[in-house]
């Protein structure tokens, strides 16, 4: 089959195919912008850092963390692209099966489906590149002193441009090909291998294992503190514990959505007496894994948001306690003390909160696509129920119960796990050293340094009995409530919007859909 023929067949779709192509292009554009933004932060060097007003860009040790945080935003974007690839899947698979009937081989059919996604992702990548360069011009706003709020005067390395321009279409196409792995396209129709079975306890084991690995960071920190080393082994060990623990917790929460959906379905089926709740319960039990696919991006965003809120509270409390300790130490020595303040940390975590809001919004877009696709994919069944006398209000209530029943406990689980991560994974948060640990040390080769004068010698007698002020970390209930309430509210709004698709999919002529 010639490449031009493949392109023509890939573009020969209906309205749903055009919507899927447009949404896929939008996702590719967002992914391109996210990756280029991270590459721009990586490109900032010491000679450029002094020209920015944001301390996160000025400090050399903080720039990798900022870039890594921007990279994490690509996770919900890619999940959104994966959801877009499933939109209108039954119609596309019937069209591909018709091509098989006309004589196309299975490899050619997969090539046609991949070509459709490749063209959309290439168009989205080009649009993302254009938006990036346009944003550099529009957002370039140097102040009177010549300093900029954003690194609009720096370009990523040319290799980064090439990797993003080639990597985004490749990855999006790979997601589409991966989505077709459970579909067998035959000349007589589509055979889909559906995952069945009751979810097991593995997600819970993963969550507990991840929390346990994060809890080992503190003992590891104390071990290497008492046994100092000159190599990078302590950093590697604690970094591996944190990364592995967070990854295990995230996978466990996302995977555990299937167990929560199945359990909620069993409870609804056992105790419910209304037709809507019975339909929702049976649907949840029949396909509990749909929740893991649908809510994965939102759960990861909630874990990150709750962890950021907890880390912000922990950092601010620790800095305030350290400032109080330094103030007491300066008072004992009779020296003036000027507090540094915690505005820098509060501003940094405020930016993290904005990033989490953006990730949640992208995840909400993926939810809307997933819910709309779920309704349209079952439109013949839903139309049959309406034709047999089932009121549309019953189906609407069943859809609401099916979506919202597993969401509330899953959101609470994600927020609870996220707030626990910084408490377990941040070493040294509960140190209770005496205030004497803050005293200065004589300079090497300088016995007449300031630490040896009479004022310090007199103050040291008081330092033995003075204890350090401990950091009292409060749970940020307000931020956690906004995260959980915002996620549930967004799901409710998306559910109401998806009811429009339900009404459109239950008309009488949908019975003719094969």
- Kindly report which listed range (129-133, 245-249, 309-313) carries the lowest average pLDDT score: 309-313
Residue numbers of the domain that contains 353: 197-437+455-514
Q: Is 444 domain-assigned? A: no
Decide if 496 contacts 371 (C-beta within 8 A). Answer: no
Residues 369 and 244 in one domain: yes
CA dihedral 308, 310, 312, 314 (to 10 degrees): -150
Would you place residue 125 in the very low, low, confident or very high pLDDT band (cuts 50, 70, 90)? very high
- Do both 309 and 331 map to the same domain? yes
The token duo for 430 is 């509960």
- What global pTM score does this model have? 0.74
User: pLDDT digits over 435-489, tens only?
Assistant: 444 444 444 444 444 444 444 444 554 544 455 666 677 888 888 888 899 888 8
In a shared domain, residues 357 and 430? yes
- Which phi and psi (to 5°) does residue 183 adopt? -115, 130
Long-range contacts of 261-265 (CB under 8 A, 24+ apart): 261/288, 261/289, 261/290, 261/291, 261/292, 261/405, 261/406, 262/198, 262/199, 262/288, 264/405, 264/406, 264/409, 265/405
Rounded to a whole number of angstroms, the distance between the first and last alpha carbons of the chain is 28
The secondary structure element, H or E, covering residue 192 is strand 189-192
Question: Quick check: is 448 in a domain?
Answer: no
Same domain, 388 and 409: yes
Pick the last residue of a domain from 193, 217, 241: 193
Residue 446: inside a domain, yes or no? no
* pLDDT, mean of residues 62-89: 73
Task: Quote the tokens at residue 295.
Answer: 């809510």
Q: Which residue has the higher pLDDT, 400 or 324?
A: 400
């Amino acid at each position: 089959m010639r490449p031009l023929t493949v392109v023509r067949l890939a573009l020969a779709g209906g309205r749903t195919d055009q919507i899927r192509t447009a949404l896929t292009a939008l996702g590719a554009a967002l992914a391109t912008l996210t990756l280029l933004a991270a590459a721009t932060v990586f490109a900032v060097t010491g000679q450029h850092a002094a020209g920015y007003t944001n301390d996160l860009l000025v400090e050399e040790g903080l720039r990798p963390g900022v870039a890594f945080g921007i990279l994490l935003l690509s996770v919900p974007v890619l999940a959104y692209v994966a959801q877009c690839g499933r939109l209108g899947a039954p119609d596309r698979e019937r069209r591909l099966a018709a091509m098989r009937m006309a004589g196309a081989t299975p490899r050619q059919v997969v090539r046609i489906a991949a070509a459709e996604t490749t063209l959309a992702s290439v168009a989205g990548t080009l649009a993302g590149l254009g938006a990036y360069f346009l944003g550099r011009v529009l957002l370039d706003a140097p102040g009177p002193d010549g300093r900029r709020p954003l690194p609009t005067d720096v370009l990523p390395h040319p290799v980064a441009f090439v990797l993003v321009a080639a990597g985004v279409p490749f990855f999006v196409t790979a997601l589409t090909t991966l989505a077709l792995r459970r579909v067998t396209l035959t000349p007589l129709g589509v055979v889909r291998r559906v995952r069945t079975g009751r979810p097991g306890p593995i997600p819970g084991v993963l969550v507990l294992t991840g929390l346990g690995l994060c809890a080992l960071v503190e003992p590891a920190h104390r071990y290497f503190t008492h046994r100092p080393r000159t190599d990078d082994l302590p950093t590697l060990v604690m970094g591996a514990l944190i990364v592995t623990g967070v990854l295990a917790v995230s996978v466990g929460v996302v995977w555990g959505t299937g167990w929560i959906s199945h359990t909620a379905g069993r409870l609804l089926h056992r105790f419910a007496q209304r037709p809507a709740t019975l339909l929702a319960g049976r649907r949840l039990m029949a396909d509990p894994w749909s929740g893991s696919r649908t809510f994965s991006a939102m759960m990861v965003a909630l874990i990150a948001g709750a962890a950021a809120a907890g880390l912000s509270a922990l950092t601010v409390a620790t800095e305030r306690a350290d400032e109080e300790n330094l103030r007491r130490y300066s008072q004992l020595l009779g020296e003036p003390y000027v507090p540094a303040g915690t505005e820098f940390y509060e501003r940094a975590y405020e930016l993290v909160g904005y990033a989490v809001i953006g990730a949640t919004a992208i995840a909400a877009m993926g939810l809307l696509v997933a819910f709309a696709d779920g309704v349209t994919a079952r439109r013949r069944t839903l139309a049959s129920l309406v034709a047999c006398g089932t009121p549309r209000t019953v189906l609407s209530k069943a859809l609401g119960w099916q979506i919202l029943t597993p969401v509330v406990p899953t959101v609470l689980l994600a927020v609870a796990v996220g707030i626990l991560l910084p408490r377990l994974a941040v070493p040294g948060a509960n140190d209770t050293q005496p205030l004497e640990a803050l005293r200065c040390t004589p300079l090497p080769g300088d016995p007449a340094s300031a630490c040896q004068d009479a004022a310090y010698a007199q103050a040291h007698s008081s330092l033995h009995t003075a204890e350090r002020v401990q950091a009292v970390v409060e749970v940020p209930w307000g931020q956690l409530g906004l995260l959980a309430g915002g996620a549930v509210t967004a799901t409710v709004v998306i559910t109401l919007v998806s009811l429009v698709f339900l009404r459109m999919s239950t008309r009488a002529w949908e019975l003719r859909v094969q």
